[in-house]
Amino acid sequence: MQFNLTLDNRLEIESSIVSLRGVSPVLNGVVLDDARVEVIANDATRIELRFTAPALGNGVFGFEIVREDKARAWSRYWLEGFTGTLDSFGLGFARVENLRAYLRNGYHSWDGSFYIEPEADRTRNETGYAMTQLLPRHGEGSVVIGFDRHTRFQQTFVFDARHVPASLTIQTWWDRKPPTGRCESERLVFFEHAQVEEGLREWARLVAQASPTPPRKAEPITGWCSWYNLYAYINEENILTHLRGVEKIARQEKFPMRVFQIDDGFTPEMGDWLEVKPQFPRGMKPLLDDIRAAGFIPGLWIAPFMVGNRSRLYREHPDWVVRERERDAPLAHWKLYSEFRWHKRSEEYYILDTTHPDAFEYLRRVFRTWRCEWGCEYFKTDFMFWGAEYGPERARWHHEGMTRIEIWRRVAEMIREEIGDALWLGCGCPLWASVGLVDGIRIGFDVGVEWRGIWSAQSLLRDAATRNFANHILWQADPDCILLRERFHHLTDAQQRSLALYAGMLGGVTMTSDALDELSPERLRLWKLLLAPGTAHLPFLGQADPALVLVRAGDPSAVLIFNTSDAPLERTYTFAALGIPNARYVYDWTNKTLQVCKTARVSVTLAPHDSALLFISDKPITQTPERLP
């Protein structure tokens, strides 16, 4: 990777993979094409530029890029002397050349991550967050561009496909934070990598190194969650019934299931977290004690930033919610005016204003009570992005002057302080601001009982592949609960088995909601297989292929080939391409057949939505593998 200046002092970042040309400063979303540039430094290791423009007033925009080695460079940008309103600032690249596809990296659990080909839709503008990856039209490898720290600012990457070639705008959201002389971005890294997923892993490792709180390294999170079986229709009786069933089968089959978690449905309204519905007559502490006595880590669900308009919290403290800036009314992030009201009475849901000292201390008391008095040891915190969704252009907080991420991070650090070493799963959660605080994080939308639709398999198929790279580097990736039950869903056997294998092969959080004592021996065999700890990689990530391939290295190695398309397909892979050199023996776990390969490759033919789980080794496979490597 090389960087240099053109005759008119415009920066170019040259790569054999993808190149970026024509840098300009960006202020509040507007590229300052009329900016004048002054070269402060220009040598083999460093370029520094200063820009002035009418929109900057008497201010100056600065930019620096420093070479670390032949493949990597670091940069920063800053504003000095700017006295206007500052929502955001950053860099604009007029041309991204040799670009086939880029990674649109989502902001939170449900905000998807996927590759986009600009030529497929020239009307499409996409905003990604924290980083992006550029894949070349000609050649192999990738270029990664991303920030290393995420505890102060939200950072966006916008590709404009209306330009040919596409343009790229990178911004830091300052959120009108009072300037202290110099407004400076976090460090921005540019690097080449010969591979796609491993390039993303390299960025994840840089984020881990830069995080002020190192990523947590908990044991794999496995267990049972009430939501996808009972949903909000829970009471003490049916929770205890499922507990007895899970305890019996887990002991009988020696399943390494650690957690038993009660999801939403035990509190009357969002925000009233210290009240319990009458369906739980003993309260939560005795029930959590029962779970602990059965040998599991007891867990509860909470949405700490949500406040229902019918809650006691809002009735008694209406000043504890974030307000609309323009009309001075509660900011209603969610409006449920029809028959579905989330099993509550509230028609509107507001955001807890955690900059209000009394609201912040209330939330602290909730987590302290749940942890110290109720005995909760596993916290599933949901709708977490609500606390960082809005900036000051839309929202008015009790205490102004912090960025949306600083507000969110202050709450998240308090939660970790109060729950101590308890396990924490962030759901609907900012992915990168959570590093070092959560143990696991949801990486897609809710699972469902359909192949297509809002609550279906599609988010898992799209988002898990492009977020797998951070698994066990920044947190444990949670693909959501694995559907095991044989009834009460709209999936075929092949779809259900394929989805279960895919989610389980990823090797992150592994949970189910199904009644284990109602499952057939074959489904229990599948669940046992998936509970084995380990991690997988996707050797063909970034290729526009409906065949998803996951590989877990070991002896034998496990390979899942999943046809996500609506038509039959055939695929042939060399063992070398799968990263399993010198292999000869292939055991097909799905069809229970053994093959000796003489050509160092394997071929499969798959029906729509079907898959093949193969165990591949250089040694004879003499017995059926019952667990993943």
Query: Which residue in 440, 430, 302 sits closest to 366, CA to CA?
Result: 302
pLDDT of residue 328: 87
Residue ranges covered by each domain of the chain = 2-210, 547-617
Tell whether the model's pLDDT for residue 123 goes beyond 90.
Answer: no
Give the fold, CATH level 3, of 547-617.
Answer: Immunoglobulin-like (2.60.40)
Q: What share of the chain is helix, strand, coil (3-state, %, to 5)?
A: 20, 30, 45
pLDDT of residue 103: 98
Q: Distance between the two ends of the chain, CA-based, in angstroms?
A: 38
pLDDT of residue 626: 81
Tell whether the model's pLDDT for residue 315 goes beyond 90.
Answer: yes
pLDDT of residue 598: 86
Q: DSSP characters for 91-124?
A: EEEEEEETEEEEEE--SBTTS--EEE-GGG-TT-
**Mean pLDDT to the nearest integer, 437-445:** 97
The first and second tokens of residue 130, run together, are 């924290």
The first and second tokens of residue 577, run together, are 């391409």
pLDDT of residue 625: 85
Tell whether the model's pLDDT for residue 179 goes beyond 90.
Answer: no
pLDDT of residue 412: 98
The verdict on whether 289 is a catalytic residue reads no
| CA dist., res. 429 & res. 418, Å (int) | 19
Does domain 2-210 fall under CATH 2.60.40.10? My reply is no
**Omega of the bond prior to 556 within 30 degrees of 0, cis?**
yes
Tell whether the model's pLDDT for residue 23 goes beyond 90.
Answer: yes
The first and second tokens of residue 615, run together, are 């165990």
Please give the share of the chain, as a percent, with pLDDT higher than 90: 91
| CA dist., res. 49 & res. 64, Å (int) | 6
- Rounded to whole angstroms, what are the CA distances from 617 to 556, 572, 581? 5, 17, 9
- Cα dihedral sign, 580-585-589-593: positive
pLDDT of residue 275: 98
**Mean pLDDT to the nearest integer, 109-134:** 94
Tell whether the model's pLDDT for residue 342 goes beyond 90.
Answer: no
Beta carbons of 118 and 159 less than 8 angstroms apart: yes
The one catalytic residue in 446, 463, 514, 610 is 446
**Mean pLDDT to the nearest integer, 105-114:** 96
Beta carbons of 103 and 207 less than 8 angstroms apart: no
pLDDT tens across 399-422, in order?
Answer: 999 999 999 999 999 999 999 999
**Mean pLDDT to the nearest integer, 604-608:** 97
- Rounded to whole angstroms, what are the CA distances from 508 to 223, 477, 539? 12, 5, 18
The first and second tokens of residue 346, run together, are 């509230």
2-210 and 547-617 agree in CATH topology: no
| CA dist., res. 49 & res. 63, Å (int) | 5
pLDDT tens across 133-173, in order?
Answer: 999 999 999 999 999 999 999 999 999 999 999 999 999 99
The verdict on whether 43 is a catalytic residue reads no
Q: Which strands make up the sheet holding 510-512, listed edge to edge? A: 476-478, 440-442, 423-426, 378-381, 297-302, 259-262, 222-225, 510-512
The one catalytic residue in 160, 382, 480, 610 is 382
Give 345's pLDDT tier (boundaries 50, 70, 90). Answer: very high
Tell whether the model's pLDDT for residue 7 goes beyond 90.
Answer: no
